[in-house]
Chains A and B, each alone.
Chain A
Amino acid sequence: MRVLTRLWAYARNTWRTLTSMGTALVLLFLLALGAMPGALLPQRSLNEAKVDQYIAKHSVIGPWLDRLQAFNVFSSFWFTAIYALLFISLVGCIVPRVFDHYKALRTPPVAVPRNLSRLPHHCSTTVADAPADQIAKARKQLRGWRAVERTSSDEVTLSAEKGYFREFGNLVFHLALVGLLVSVAVGKMFGYEGNVVVIADDGPGFCTSSIAAFDSFRAGNLIDGTGLTPLCVRVKDFRADYLSNGEAQMFTANISYQVGEDLTTDTWRDTSIQVNHPLRVSGDRVYVQGHGYAPTFTITYPNGQTRTESQQWRPDDGSTFLSSGAMRFDPPAGMYSSDAEQRKHQIAIEGLFAPTAFLHGTLLTSSFPAMTDPAAAIDIYQGETGLDTGRPQSLFSLDPEMIRQGRLVKQTRVNLKPGQSATLSDGTKVTFDGAKQFANLQVSHDPAQGWVLVFAVTMMAGLLVSLLVKRRRIWLRAYPADSADPDEATAGERRTVVEMGGLARTDQAGWGGEFDRLRARLLGEVSDPQRTTRAENTGE
């Protein structure tokens, strides 16, 4: 039993400490501090390659930072712990305050203090009206205040308070903050985004039939890849507008898409998407997030058969769009006697593509991002590309291991303009046909982002209310003047003494003037306000 009591006391104290303001402050600091490495170190969620680079460069500290999840700060155990604790602390602090506020709303303003002259702002005057009339008159002036009159045998008092919305706004702000966190969490769990490169030639495009349809796919824990919003997109054309200095002006992709019902009726809808103007359809968004060139090559085999392919190359230079990439061609079926022979006669291309060619001697570079004078500088290989070896390969480069082993042999290195070709020793002709544009599309799904916005706006509204509304209390006491009072003799008919006092519970600044204006409104011009104003020296 003692142990239980002690445990209970321990738990209660822990809870009190956790929900105290001091702890909240410390947790806020930790949150700010914990987020710091997220800004200073490369993050996996933003750029995986940069993280690998960093770890390779800092061989000692890199792996340690990785173990501490410093490259995944915002999903790390410690960052999660900080904000989880912060939100528990917040809820533990806010929920009791909700009840307190509810109670406060139902409690009449506190009774008049015995000695109003102790208040930082007070005054007293004598008026002609009867105490009850004077109080009633003052009460009428106090619109928007919660006021209560109390009458006793020798005096009538009025207690008035305003600024209840301050606490209300404060509570709304904090509760909306919790709502925001929950919505973000729901969005993360049920949301997904996938990127896919689509060549802008009104080709087959892609459909969100499975994760495999995407080039990269990031999804929440509760998404298994089935049940993605059915959507098909074809890119009819892609236009990039540039200024003469090569600066991009706008990117526009004209697309057609099918969604929901359209898929059964095979209806295609046309639209265009731009940077800043995604397609919003059935809760999902389709963005154009990048673009580049997909060179087209035609292989003419000695027997006259041809194979033509376009494949996206990676833009290596963002300002000139000099791109690099690779292509792999299988010989047509039946050209060689056996599969092994067939495999040994694959054609592979690796090299550079420039949308606007600029040659330093034979070195190709690009001078402008738009396709005005395209050219390709390529190495042509023959042999085994190694695609069926099981070793993963980059889309943009050939497997160096196959080249090193001599299974993929370089035949020639050429610079080609559209229409030009190179002929290999066995009579195979490689023709550069030009290039197509490709667009990198992103499909995003976040079922809760509307709620995130709602809570964010609620939060700001609550914050504004809590910062702008001021809490004020005033009290009035009216009682018949003592007959012995010298005022009575001089003022004649004046026979009620009214005392008034005020207290600013927040935002002291400016309260003095505010009190004076209130006094003028409630009591008229006080002829001889015996009024003192102590220095406004309390905190906010």
Chain B
Amino acid sequence: MPIDETLASYSDLAFKSAIVVYALVFVMLLVQYASAYTRKAEQREPALVGASSAATPQVPGRVAQQPVKPMSERVGNMAFSVLFVALGLHILSIVLRGFATHRFPLGNMYEFVTMATGAAVTLGVVLLRDQRYRGMWAFLLVPVLILMFLAGTVLHTDPAPVVPALKSYWLPIHVTVVSIGSGVFLVSGVSSLLFLLRLAHPAGAESDNVFGAIARRLPDARTLDRLAYRTTIIGFPVFGTGIILGAIWAESAWGRFWGWDPKETVSFIAWVIYAAYLHARATSGWRETKAAWINIAGFVAMLFNLFIINIVVSGLHSYAGLN
């Protein structure tokens, strides 16, 4: 079936707009970060007026002014609302791509990265909507923006039908599950990185350097660590299921369910690393820093699998079929 060029161009437009709006959200989050920092610096003395319960007057007989939400919080809330616009555009670009090509929009690396980052942001919106996670968003958006920028420039391919090997109902099943798993691991990896940063700069005792300043607005270490664990225990079975579904597909497409194709090998490696992370969480002496590093190693393996294996190493997963 021919490609619908109009829809395809709308999809590209939605994708580009999504990047621009994500960038805007990112800038707003940076503003929030910066203003929160200065505000804190100013307010360190006058203590926490109305911090716990706004209605309690501080002095009898005087009506306390309803505290205005600080600037940083308002910008943060604004950024979070605009984020939904970006995510909407992001999802729209995926859907339009599917309609333009008359197939499930997961046939090449551009589409995979778009789906995985979409999954990461969606998961973030679900798990990290609470105010206390607001400080994390700027950092979550960094890898999302980088990945989407790469997808839009280096990896972008014009919409086209897929090779015969990819013409299977397993394509939407296997690749969707794997891309969602990758998105979940992205959130997890970022959480662990921030956890390590936070651990080096605990709340109230941040250093005066850049890292301390960055850490100041982050959730506390405990929250970050727990978030990393919670996301990994979602990602681990999702990604494992993706591998198994891939094996089932490989059995009918390539003649064997497992053949140590480079992509299969590195998926196995990543899965083993995440298994090690879960074991480390249950081993004394490994729980904190070491476990976090393992989680980050797992995400590095995922990135390696996505970029190096697809672009540098050739294998069956180079989206090639019989030809």
Residues of A bordering B, CB below 8 Å:
21-22, 24-25, 28-29, 31-32, 35-36, 38-40, 43, 45-46, 73-74, 184, 193, 243, 247-251, 274-278, 285, 287, 289-291, 318-319, 369, 442, 444, 446, 449, 452-453, 456-457, 459-460, 463-464, 467, 508-509, 537, 539-540
Contacts and interface: CB of A to CB of B under 8 A. Distances in A.
A276 B168 contact: yes
A278 B252 contact: yes
22 contacts: A21-B283, A24-B279, A28-B275, A32-B269, A32-B276, A184-B258, A193-B255, A193-B256, A248-B164, A248-B321, A249-B161, A274-B164, A275-B165, A277-B252, A278-B252, A289-B254, A291-B322, A442-B255, A453-B257, A464-B237, A539-B281, A540-B226
B225 to A, nearest CB: 9
Please indicate which of the listed interface residues B233, B262, B322, B323 has the most CB atoms of chain A within 10 Å of its own CB: B323
Contacts of A539: 281, 287
Given A32-B272, A45-B259, 6 more contacts: A21-B282, A28-B279, A35-B265, A39-B309, A446-B256, A463-B236
A449 B230 CA distance: 33
Contacts of A463: 236-237, 240
B168 A460 contact: no
A291 B164 CA distance: 13
B110 interface: no
Given A39-B309, A463-B240, A509-B230, A275 B280 contact: no
B241 interface: yes
B164 A250 contact: yes
Contact of A40 (B252, B287, B313): B313
Interface stretch (B55-63, B204-212, B243-251): B243-251
A35 B241 CA distance: 20
A301 to B, nearest CB: 39
B269 A35 contact: yes
B279 A25 contact: yes
A539 B288 CA distance: 9
Contact of A38 (B247, B265, B287): B265
Nearest to A320: B323
Output the residue of A32, A467, A540 with the most chain B CB within 10 A: A32
B266 interface: yes
Contacts of A460: 237, 240-241, 244
B2 to A, nearest CB: 9
B138 interface: no
Given A276-B253, A287-B255, A442-B255, A22 B283 contact: yes
Contacts, number: 132
Interface in B129-188: 160-161, 163-165, 167-168, 170
Contacts of B257: 449, 452-453
Interface of B: 160-161, 163-165, 167-168, 170, 222, 226, 229-230, 233, 236-237, 240-241, 244, 247-248, 251-262, 265-266, 268-269, 272-273, 275-276, 279-283, 285-287, 301, 309, 313, 315, 320-323
**Which of B161, B252, B283, B286 has most chain A Cβ within 10 Å?**
B252
Nearest to B297: A32
Given A25-B283, A467-B237, A247 B252 contact: no
B133 to A, nearest CB: 13
Given A39-B265, A39-B313, A247-B163, A318 B253 contact: no
A449 B250 CA distance: 12
Question: Which 10 residue pairs of A and B lie closest in terms of their CB atoms, listed nearest first?
Answer: A39-B265, A275-B164, A28-B276, A39-B262, A276-B168, A21-B283, A32-B272, A32-B269, A248-B323, A467-B233
A32 B161 CA distance: 35
Nearest to B287: A539
A537 B288 CA distance: 13
Nearest to B248: A453
Contacts of A278: 252, 255
A25 B322 CA distance: 40
A509 B222 CA distance: 10
A456 B230 CA distance: 23
A196 B281 CA distance: 50
A19 B163 CA distance: 47
Given A453-B248, A467-B237, A275 B322 contact: yes
A248 B283 contact: no
B164 A276 contact: yes
B283 A39 contact: no
Contacts of A31: 272
B322 A289 contact: yes
B218 to A, nearest CB: 18
Contact of B259 (A32, A46, A277, A289): A46
Nearest to A457: B244
Nearest to A509: B226
A170 to B, nearest CB: 10
A318 B165 CA distance: 14
A229 to B, nearest CB: 15
B165 to A, nearest CB: 5
A467 B282 contact: no
A45 B260 contact: yes
Nearest to B232: A467
A459 B273 CA distance: 17
Contacts of B163: 247-248
Given A319-B323, A453-B248, A460-B244, A275 B253 contact: yes
Nearest to B320: A318
Contacts of B161: 243, 247, 249
B280 to A, nearest CB: 6
B272 A289 contact: no
A308 to B, nearest CB: 28
B233 A456 contact: no
A457 B248 CA distance: 11
Nearest to A506: B282
B164 A289 contact: no
Nearest to B240: A460
Nearest to B304: A39
Contacts of B301: 32
A456 B240 CA distance: 9
Nearest to A449: B257
Contacts of B323: 247-248, 318-319, 369
Nearest to B2: A243
A456 B269 contact: no
Contacts of A193: 255-256
B183 to A, nearest CB: 18
Contacts of B273: 28-29, 32
